[in-house]
Amino acid sequence: NAGVTQTPKFRVLKTGQSMTLLCAQDMNHEYMYWYRQDPGMGLRLIHYSVGEGTTAKGEVPDGYNVSRLKKQNFLLGLESAAPSQTSVYFCASSSQAGVPYNEQFFGPGTRLTVL
């Protein structure tokens, strides 16, 4: 049981390049989330998914796209990277929403630098 895994762990991009971050979870969770964390700040939600084939925007969605083709995977894409997207990206999953408590499980993060 690996929990939430993220690929890659580190990446350096040049401005304008594209890339995809992969998140995988083996807990059969319905909900998945992508957050970003800038230095000295808390996490901010980029996009989330409530189930296979569905995605929705979070607090800071501009410049990112997501897809959830399989329940266990949640992909975050940057079509044209910008230096402002330099950050640490965390993926999370949870069992369901609409209950008083649903713990979110986080991956180890992907450190992205855009030059």
Partner 1 sequence: DAKTTQPNSMESNEEEPVHLPCNHSTISGTDYIHWYRQLPSQGPEYVIHGLTSNVNNRMASLAIAEDRKSSTLILHRATLRDAAVYYCILRDPLPSGSARQLTFGSGTQLTVLP
Give the footprint of partner 1 on this chain (CB under 8 A): 4, 31, 33, 35, 40-45, 48-50, 56, 58-59, 90, 92, 94, 97-109
Choice between 16 and 108, CB closer to partner 1:
108
What is the spatial distance between Cα 2 and Cα 29, in angstroms, rounded to a whole number?
13
Phi and psi for 97 in degrees, rounded to 5? -110, 175
Min separation Cβ 55 and partner 1, Å: 10
Min separation Cβ 16 and partner 1, Å: 28
Min separation Cβ 43 and partner 1, Å: 4
Please name the residues in contact with 41: beta carbons below 8 A apart, sequence gap of 6 or more: none
Phi and psi for 85 in degrees, rounded to 5? -95, 5
Choice between 16 and 88, CB closer to partner 1:
88
What is the total residue count of the chain?
115
Choice between 17 and 104, CB closer to partner 1:
104
Phi and psi for 50 in degrees, rounded to 5? -100, 0
Min separation Cβ 14 and partner 1, Å: 25
